[in-house]
Structure 1
Amino acid sequence: MARPFRQQMDEGILDRAAALFARRGFAKTSLQDVADAVGLSKAGLLHHFPSKEALHGAVLAQAGRLGQRVLDQVAGLPLGPARDRYALDVLVDIALAHPGLVALLLAPVMQGNPAPEVDAAAATALLAFGVTAGDPVSERAVRVVGALSALAVLTLAAGQQDAATTWRPFIVATCFDALGHSAAGAALPRPDQVEA
């Protein structure tokens, strides 16, 4: 029975470490920074991951698996609004569950000078929308980068506000709009539900 708890703890460590790596970079993130973020001693963190490099490798592997999961789920759909909407649904759910990993995965998209190992994982997010990293700049590429950037920022904000369920339809609608599609079917707040 101890195994599920260990796996849950490891996933939490990976997510927090990913957020720090996304924000500060690998070189500027110490094991102590990660230990502090997850509420462990440095020795306790090393019990889960034997080195900073092992932790970083595990973070990149998890980010890659998440990016591939999105691509796998949309691979059979033709490019267009239906695929975009489905990719956004999948990405938003992943982002709300793993905000740090998504911040790392999308950091290259937003920062423009990615580490090659992170860039490979981020490329899968672009491919989900039919954009190949390194292609010439196009309106579609800019819209996809804008939608992914909005997705990252909004899901992080929703998590900080503890409002994932409430914000989810608005995040999807905002990103869908950024892609140039009408969000006519998006849920809009009722005037009697808007907080002052």
Structure 2
Amino acid sequence: MARALREQVDEEILDRAAALFAQHGFEQTSLKALADAVGLSKAGLLHHYPSKEALHAAALEFSAVRSGQVRDQVASLPPGPDRDRRVLELLTDTALDRPGLVALLFRPVTTPEAHNADHDELLSDLFAIDPSDVERLIRVTGALSALAVLSLAANYRGDKTSWRPRIVETCLDALGHARSDRARD
């Protein structure tokens, strides 16, 4: 029981820290701001993570683990609307549960200096993107941007349940999947 509580506290710390790192970047995020965001003193935060660097690394790792779990769950699905739907459902669930982690995961989409090859590979794996298909890349970027904004709005409104299916449908629309193409409405 105590271990589960510790994991939940750590996940909450990582989520809130990830949100700050996503919003301000590593350099502009102070240890005090991180401590304030998670409701701890600096000493209390340093009890959980020995430095800002360690916290940042843990948040990135947690985000990578979550995205890897999504990748593993869709790896056997062929490219197409059903795979896209499942990816979006899983990412939406994560975004509604841990919005900071998703903001950090999507930061390379919106921040040129945060762009990296690992992120491109993740998007390619999740959405089966051919690197030469610019339209598909733009549609995926639009869908992920919509997912990020809408999941934040759902969290802010405290209405995750009714927003979830609408978020997924909006993202599928952004990907260009016509409603008549969808097997599960």
Superposition TM-score, scaled by structure 1 size: 0.87
Alignment correspondent of 1:139? 135
Distance 1:122 1:61, change over 3 A: farther
**Given residue 127 of structure 2, which amino acid in structure 1 is its aligned partner?**
F
**Map of 1:56 onto structure 2:** 56
Deviating 4+ runs (over 4 angstroms): 184-187
Selected match of 2:118 from 120, 123, 145: 120
1:172 lines up with 2:148 in the alignment: no
Post-superposition offset of 1:115: 5.3
Contact 1:88 1:175 in 2 (8 A): yes
User: Percent identity over the alignment?
Assistant: 55
Report the aligned-residue RMSD: 1.7
- Change over 3 Å in CA distance of 1:123–1:101 after alignment to 2: farther
Amino acid at match of 1:143: R
Cross-structure match for 1:72: 72
CA distance in 1, matches of 2:90, 2:179: 17
Say whether the 8 Å CA contact 1:63–1:121 is kept in structure 2. Answer: no
Residue 148 of structure 1 is aligned with which of 133, 136, 144? 144
More displaced stretch, 176-185 vs 119-128: 119-128
- Cα distance in 2, alignment partners of residues 98 and 59 from structure 1: 11
Kindly indicate whether the alpha-carbon contact (under 8 Å) linking 2:151 and 2:167 is maintained by their aligned counterparts in 1: yes
Tell me, yes or no, if structure 1 residue 108 matches structure 2 residue 104: no
Contact 1:147–1:175 (Cα < 8 Å) also in 2: yes
Post-superposition offset of 1:120: 2.1
With the length of structure 2 as denominator, give the TM-score of the two structures: 0.92
> Are 2:21 and 2:104, in contact at CA under 8 Å, matched by a contact in 1?
yes
Matches of residues 12-91 of structure 1 in structure 2 within 5 Å?
Answer: 12-91=12-91
**Number of matched pairs:** 183
Contact 1:126 1:144 in 2 (8 A): no
Structure-2 residue corresponding to 1:192: none
Q: List alignment gaps of at least 5 residues for structure 2.
A: none
- Give unpaired runs (5+ residues) of structure 1: 188-196
1:104 deviates by 0.4
Kindly indicate whether structure 1 or structure 2 has the higher relative contact order, using CA contacts under 8 Å at least 6 residues apart.
Answer: 2
Partner Cα distance (1:140, 1:110) in 2:
17
Question: What is the distance in 1 between the residues matched to 2:159 and 2:137?
Answer: 29
Which residue type is aligned with residue 46 of structure 1?
L
Q: How much does 1:113 deviate?
A: 2.9
The counterpart of 1:182, out of the listed 158, 161, 178, is 178
Deviation, structure 1 residue 179: 0.3
Distance 1:147 1:28 in 2: 28
SS of the aligned residue for 1:28 comes to: coil
